[in-house]
């Protein structure tokens, strides 16, 4: 079982350009939100609760994040994903079926377009192409990057940069 540091280092090897990281700060939450919104429209009543596929996916993802050996980061990414799940449930039930599908699919596509623009700057393929776990690591990476920007856990940030290299601003003309 790979721990959070190993997973973040592996993911960071595909994400060293600052524009790519910035694109992930927008694209990954849009993708997560859109998937949860698609899964939030219907569910099974369980007492006063409605158990939707979105809540099941959230619970499984949160359990995975919390089991990666870094409690603070596991809690932070679980809370962030939980907030997206709450918002997704509210959005999924706010309008008709057409609006729900349109917004869910539209945001999913926009999120991926943003991701691929970031990877164009990076000059590398997305991490999930080589390891599907990258789809789960993406939200953890985004939360970690935001926390790093706030000054949290600089030893972890330094370790990631020591093993994956520093973030850079590549010359876009060189990539094209």
H/E stretch holding 144 reads helix 134-149
Distances (CA, A) of 129 to 6, 105, 119, 135, 174: 17, 21, 12, 9, 23
Domain locations in the chain as residue ranges = 4-175
In angstroms, the CA 143 to CA 139 distance is: 6
97-122 vs 18-38: helix axis angle to the nearest 10?
160
In angstroms, the CA 25 to CA 8 distance is: 15
pLDDT string in tens for the chain (176-residue length): 899 999 999 999 999 999 999 999 999 999 999 999 999 999 999 998 899 999 999 999 999 999 999 999 999 999 999 999 999 999 999 989 999 999 999 999 999 999 999 999 999 998 898 989 999 999 999 999 999 999 999 999 999 999 999 999 876 545 54
pTM score of the predicted model: 0.93
């Amino acid at each position: 079982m790979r721990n959070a540091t190993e997973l973040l280092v592996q993911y960071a090897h595909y994400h060293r350009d600052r524009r790519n990281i910035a694109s992930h700060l927008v694209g990954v939450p849009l993708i997560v939100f859109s998937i949860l919104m698609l899964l939030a429209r219907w569910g099974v009543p369980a007492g006063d609760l409605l158990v939707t596929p979105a809540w099941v996916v959230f619970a499984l993802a949160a359990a995975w994040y919390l089991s990666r050996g870094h409690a603070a980061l596991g809690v932070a990414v679980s809370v962030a994903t939980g907030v997206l799940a709450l918002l997704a449930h509210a959005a999924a039930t706010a309008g008709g079926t057409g609006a729900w599908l349109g917004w869910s699919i539209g945001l999913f596509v926009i999120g991926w377009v943003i991701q691929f623009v970031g990877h164009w700057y990076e000059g590398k393929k997305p991490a999930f192409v080589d390891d599907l776990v990258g789809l789960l690591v993406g939200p953890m990476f985004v939360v970690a990057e935001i926390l790093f920007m706030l000054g949290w856990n600089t030893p972890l940030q330094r370790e990631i940069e020591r093993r994956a290299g520093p973030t850079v601003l590549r010359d876009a003309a060189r990539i094209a």
